[in-house]
Amino acid sequence: MAIEQVPCLSCGSLIQPKNNVRKRKYCSMKCNGVALRKNKTIEQKKQEKKIYDMQYRSEKRDLLKEKKRNYYQKTRHYWLKKLAEKRNTPGYKERHREYLSTYWTAERLALKKDYDRKFRAKKRFGPLWEAHYLTVLLNEEVQKRISKYEIYKQTGRLNKALQRSRNGTVKRGYT
């Protein structure tokens, strides 16, 4: 007795029965695969993977750190040796100096200065670092706008001895 032929759910062609026992839904593995697809765009898949990775990293943070530490400890000597070899090649120092001369642009130097200031303030004053940082900035601004001569003039610290002798508060020399 011949089995009734059913159409493939994916492509619609009639399925050729291979045996009389199993009823199949798809004509081939290919059609099965096509039916299993969820029809997501590449962007969607990327977004999902991104979220999954973020969750994984936050959940397994300690494990990942441990793994990295172990790997570093295992391969440390190799890398240090390799870097030392690189450092000892002829002309390395000159090339490095050349690189640094182009690396430190005015922009980068300004950034580094600011970073160092914050770093020092945090180290010295802890949670109150911002007060110190702002004071330094304020002082800098004041120094830019007014010279030491003007400050001393305003506060009466200029030529103190001369002024006293002129005012007659202090007598100098023979009388």
Rounded CA-CA distance 140/1 in Å is 100
Alpha helices in the chain (DSSP H): 29-36, 42-59, 61-87, 92-103, 106-125, 129-145, 148-155, 160-167
Residue 64 Cβ, how far from Zn ion at the closest point, in Å? 44
Q: Which residues bind Zn ion (CB under 5 A)?
A: 8, 10-11, 27, 31
Least distance to Zn ion from the beta carbon of 14, Å?
Answer: 9
β-bridge partners, 7: 14
Question: In terms of CB distance, is 14 or 51 closer to Zn ion?
Answer: 14
Closest approach of Zn ion to the CB of residue 16, in Å: 11
Q: Cβ of residue 24: shortest distance to Zn ion, in angstroms?
A: 10
Cα separation, 78 vs 84, whole angstroms: 10
Q: What's at 160, amino acid-wise? A: K
